[in-house]
Chains A and B, each alone.
Chain A
Amino acid sequence: MSELIAPSDIRWPTRKQEAWKYTDLAAWSKLMPEAFSLAQPQPKARPTALWQGDCSRRLTWLDGQFQADWSHGVAPTDTQAEPASSEALSDLITHSRRQAHSLSLSGDDTCVHLVLAQDAEQDALSHLDLNIDVADNAEITLIEEHLGGRAGLASTQINLTLGNNAQVRHVRLQHTSAQQMLIGGQHVRLSNYARLFQTHVEWGGRLSRLHSTLALQGEGAECHYYALSGLTERQHVDHQVEVRHEAAHAISRLRARGIVGDSARQVFNGKVYVARDAQKTDSDQLLRNLLLSDKAEVDAKPELEIYADDVRCAHGSTVGRLDDAALFYLRSRGLDSTQARRLLMLSFAERVLREIGDEDLRDQTRTAIADHLSLQTPA
């Protein structure tokens, strides 16, 4: 296997494919490095994760390769890589340096920290498949962090299965370095009365795409998807979310907020599908975006596809700017306009940040995203 591969040697999805309409990787490939590295990453300094608290397992990968020295608790199991679940990405994944692992989580794994680091010394092209099974009745906190990197492209596919009555609080933080690209996929299956609380916060990377399929397969299952991005310069974040109500009495909530400055772009497509048998579905989705500059762009689209007749499904989408009256209010109290803008951005972000249960992690995340947003030139 050659140690290098040129982006031009890969067949990328294009905007002709509906799901890639706003993230045309074929066009993006012109902006990518001349060649990606397929070499083994060289673990040197342990990456600094935001979350430093206690956890039963901390599992660290570098460019998709598991790092036992930087991990504790039971290691993941190597598994056979399955064929790529996304046809659009199959050529990319085939050409990437690829690993596949699986984790079985029980009630003993109260808190699991997944550190998905990228090497800062090469532009790696890597893919990681991770299958996570959560046992019936287990209650688990998952903290997934994406960090580090250079101008490489890391793809991940996480398949998360929640057993009956399992509960997962999943916080996903994406703060990779400024030129890193990420292509993420997650396929979550919820059994009877399983509950998933996901909070996605992104402020890193050049390009970050996340395609989520959240399948409520069991009766009375519940899924809460909260997303927040804070974007500056030319950052691009694209969330494609499909919630599938396949059984009765399930609940879903989608709440996405974007703070989009400079020439950044935020895409959010939320689709809620309700099958014929999924009676008494209770679903709503609310997309709110804050534009901080005239060059920033937001594409937000809530969608519904309903085949059952006794359901409650609501959706809404708003785009706004920082409120002048609120800015003046804070400045009249002595805050300069940078501080005032920072507090108003945090006010907007807090609706999502408050979903992060751990207070330290919430405070660190709040500070990190506010610091990132404060770097931009005021419009």
Chain B
Amino acid sequence: MLKIENLTAKIQDKDILKGINLSIGAGEVHAIMGPNGSGKSTLANILAGRDSYEVTGGSVLFEGQDLLELEPEERACAGIFLGFQYPVEIPGVSNMTMLKAAVNARRKAQGQDEATPLELLQKVKKAAQTMQVADAMLQRGVNEGFSGGEKKRNEILQMLVLEPKLAILDETDSGLDIDALKVVSDGVNALRSAERSVVLVTHYQRLLDHIKPDYVHVLAGGRIVESGGPELALTLEEKGYAWIGDSQQAPA
């Protein structure tokens, strides 16, 4: 589904990604872990098309097409979803208004008619139920006055409504208490299927207790320095990221 080859990127003059190689197949869940500043969020944002990073080399293919050539909205319509680490507040524009525009943009790109108000409402209500989001919150401005946990639940709600092929969740677990973590994890698990893939960017192993990954990668110094199965996350939890530093050559 997604094939990243030797991807390098910088922000201003600072090299952040120094050659990322990663393949994600349909239906797989990959966790990308790593210390602060290792490039995890950069990778997530580049995949979604944020233009504040400059891609300096390498390639990204999504279902065979060159992802880096597409605008952010084209990537979204092709089936990519980014769950933001810091979801943006848009006061005065309701969640419903944004979801309607987002759903219809996708349908238009696929040559379908706009969703009927009833179709949309049913879809959103179902997602809201899974995410334990009250109806009143759907009518409020996007993330307007939401707590950190509410914002993250709202991200997953949007994901459930938009049904992406590839969901990239950037530290969706940060700032969540145990109950909210469970709700968010249930939401992600509800989306899992043989056709959909998920990339979880996280610091902590605890998310992976709820969403079981197929693969775990460790990103450090702009490179993937270790890949393995779910057991790798447990080793990291036990030994810390310093262990990676010890077992690898220090990154340049």
| Residues in chain A within 8 A of chain B (CB atoms) | 323-326, 328-337, 339-340, 343-344, 346-351, 353-354
> What chain A residues lie within 8 Å of B158 (beta carbons)?
333
Q: Which of A334, A337, A354 contacts B102 (CB 8 A)?
A: A334
Chain B interfacial residues counted at CB < 8 A: 31
Q: What CA separation (Å) do A326 and B93 show in the bound complex?
A: 12
> Which segment, of B34-42, B58-66, B81-89, B183-191, faces chain A?
B81-89
Q: Is the CB of A334 within 8 A of B90?
A: no
A338 to chain B, nearest CB (A): 10
Distance (whole angstroms) from the CB of B226 to the closest CB of chain A:
29
Asked if B49 CB lies within 8 Å of chain A CBs, one says yes
Measured CA separation A284–B98 after assembly (Å): 32
3 closest Cβ contacts across the A-B interface? A350-B92, A334-B76, A334-B105
Asked whether any CB of chain A lies closer than 8 Å to the CB of B97, the reply is yes
Given contacts A326-B90, A354-B92, contact A333 B162 (CB under 8 A): yes
Q: Is the CB of B76 within 8 A of A325?
A: no
Known pairs A325-B88, A331-B72, A336-B71 / 8 extra A-B pairs, C-beta < 8 Å: A323-B88, A326-B88, A330-B90, A333-B105, A334-B73, A334-B76, A334-B103, A351-B92
Choose one: A329, A337, A351, A353; the contact of B84 (CB below 8 Å).
Answer: A329
B interface vs A, CB < 8 Å? Answer: 48-52, 71-73, 75-77, 81-82, 84, 87-88, 90-93, 97-98, 101-103, 105-106, 109, 141, 158, 162
Shortest beta-carbon distance from A230 to chain B in Å? 14
Q: Does more than half of chain A's interface fall in helix, strand or loop, or is it mixed?
A: helix
List residues of chain A with CB within 8 A of the CB of B109: 334
Q: Whole-angstrom distance between the alpha carbons of A326 and B92 in the complex?
A: 13
Complex: A340 Cα to B73 Cα, angstroms: 10
CB contacts (< 8 Å) of B101 on chain A: these are 330, 333-335, 339, 343
| Given A339-B105, A351-B92, also A333-B76 (CB < 8 A) | yes
- Chain B residues within an 8 Å CB radius of A329: 84, 87-88, 90
- Known contacts A334-B109, A335-B105: does B88 contact A343 (CB below 8 Å)? no
A-B contact list, 21 entries, CB within 8 Å:
A323-B88, A326-B88, A326-B90, A328-B49, A328-B72, A330-B90, A332-B72, A332-B73, A332-B76, A333-B98, A333-B102, A333-B158, A334-B162, A335-B73, A339-B101, A343-B93, A344-B93, A346-B92, A349-B92, A350-B92, A351-B92
Q: Which residues of B contact A323 (CB under 8 A)?
A: 88
Given contacts A329-B88, A331-B71, contact A336 B93 (CB under 8 A): no
Given contacts A325-B88, A329-B84, contact A350 B106 (CB under 8 A): no
